[in-house]
Amino acid sequence: MQEALYIIKTLNSKGYISYFAGGWVRDYLLDHPSEDIDIASNAPPEVVESLFPHTIPIGKAFGIILVIIKNKQYEVATFRHDIEYKDGRRPSKIEFSSPEIDSKRRDFTINGMFYDPMSEEIIDYVNGREDLNKKIIRCIGNAHTRFREDRLRMIRAVRMSARFNFEIEKETKRAITTHAEELFPSVAIERIWQELTKMSQYQGFKKALIMLFEFNLLQTIFPGLKNLSLDEVKDRLSIIDDFPHRSPVIVSILELFPEFGLEQKQDLCRYLKLSNRQVDFVTFLHNGIYYIKNENKIDDHSWAYFYANHFYELVIDILAIHVKAEKRKDFLLKHEKKQKVLQKYIDRIKNNDPLLKSDHLKLCNVKPGILMGQLLKEGEKISINKKLTDPHKIIEELKKTKLWPKK
């Protein structure tokens, strides 16, 4: 806050108007003040750059300069008027303007207010404070125009409605439904995923996803949902608000596709352009579901590797949510006990320290190569499943397999 006030005072001292803007003002009026402060000013971007020693021109063409003070970053944007939107996401041309005109180019009334920290005054040209008191999400001006300008605003409206438990005003609702199928190609899937991620950080993620479906946005993002009824979507999402808070967003999205096999889940991850780590997580989660459903068919070797995986603790907590509440404690206790029984093998796996090593096989005239790798892997499996602690006994068992080289 002090750094933001310093920026305001510096701009004011040079004769420029400057305010806190947008989301910070909204949250301040909701009694949720934060350190995430954006600043709007009539100072041109070149002036902002000249007044502060550490700046980054992150959007200079749109009048946006990032000012960095004591490792804290603040966006300083020049009041502007957006002239022309061609791609359904960003203006292709702007003009610098006044605070009133700047406020009326913004998305929703509750995000269109300014705050002067020097006079402690709210500057509201769009009746944002009134809508905030009424708990309403309303587009500034014509809703159809706002969404044609930036189609991502449709998803933002749902996110804010779910986050604050606000009603979306009827004309804004109508415009979202009208333009929902125009989401692509204007909006990149990465930006949509960022919005879904933000939604998941607050209570009511299930409500947000259901609203997206009601507005025809969810099935635009995921065409495979088009033939589902609202009741089916609600049923599939019934447990997601109970998932551990640290669960990746994809865990909740996968609940919409219970029939998906592993390859389809991985394809979904690629469609959403998720990281390799998230793909690995989805793969491990899928295998975990299979293990739980077929637990009596899974050998100790497989369970040991399952428990040794760094995703295990989160995945077992996620899987527990799928168990009836009255049986959940027993489910977790059973795996805790099984894990303790296998702990020494789990530790060996984590430390990459198998009982049977390449030196043992070399003494049996097995040469380094693909076969040795296969024998070492099979030897580890045998040692865990048969509870063997002597490498020589493991080799005796290996000699009974088809892998062992014939003389």
Q: pLDDT tens digits for 123-150?
A: 999 999 999 999 999 999 999 999 998 9
Tokens representing residue 406 in the block: 């014939």
What parts of the chain have a pLDDT lower than 70? 83-93, 407
- Asked if the bond preceding 185 is cis, omega within 30° of 0, the reply is yes
**CA 37 – CA 20 distance, rounded (Å):** 7
Residue 81: per-residue pLDDT: 84
Residue 366: per-residue pLDDT: 87
Long-range residue pairs from 318-321, CB within 8 A, at least 24 positions apart, any chain: 318/243, 318/244, 318/247, 318/251, 318/285, 319/288, 319/289, 319/292, 321/239, 321/242, 321/243
CA nearest neighbour of 321 among 364, 344, 288, 349: 288
**CA 302 – CA 309 distance, rounded (Å):** 11
Rg, C-alpha atoms of the chain = 29
Exposure b/e, 14-23, CB count within 10 A at least 16 = b:
eebbbbbbbb
Tokens representing residue 143 in the block: 């809703």
Residue 406: per-residue pLDDT: 80
Residue 59: per-residue pLDDT: 81
Residue 407: per-residue pLDDT: 66
Residue 331: per-residue pLDDT: 95
Q: Which residue has the tokens 């603790």?
A: 313
Residue 204: per-residue pLDDT: 86
3-state secondary structure of 330: helix
Residue 88: per-residue pLDDT: 54
Phi–psi pair at 81, nearest 5 degrees: -120, 125
